Structure 1
Amino acid sequence: MSLMTIAPAITDGQDPAFFAGRADAYDEHTDGATIAQLQTRADYITDLHDPQYAAGYTARLHEIRRETAALTAAQTDTAHEQNPERAA
């Protein structure tokens, strides 16, 4: 059994290039690119591509950074709860 993913249609003047940039950043991160590699690519994309594409790529990069930071914080809290003598 699978779940259907609901994706809103691109309407109201939204630029498809923005979402293409987000998708590319997502795909590259999923394929194993590090945040540093994505940042380097974002810098090049900002200079060489459509501004909306670059904005989408960079927006997804910032989301990946926030997700990574939140995951690290959660794992740190879990580690301290499991090892209370090391937390002091």
Structure 2
Amino acid sequence: MQAFNESAGDRLPNAESLNDKRKRAISKFLKELKEPTVESAKNYFDYFMETASAWYFGENNRGWRANFDYLLRPETVLKTREGAL
């Protein structure tokens, strides 16, 4: 979560608590990465922040913003890799 918070800065809501659901999601997320390391996760979060459209940062008609849980989703990881955000 620290890697996400560092990457997100003030652009996205910080992840503050770790519960069982998040632990399971983090475990699945790490399996999606080329290497299951904090450094790989940080690289992914940084890449998302650099390449995602403004829509993911609240510039949409609902004011919705991506969050930690959203970035852990396998489909979000795939879209980020493919440049489809």
Q: Same fold (TM over 0.5)?
A: no
Relative contact order, CA 8 A, sep 6+: which one is greater? 2
Which protein has the bigger helix share?
Answer: 1
TM-score by length of 1: 0.28
TM-score (normalised: structure 2): 0.29
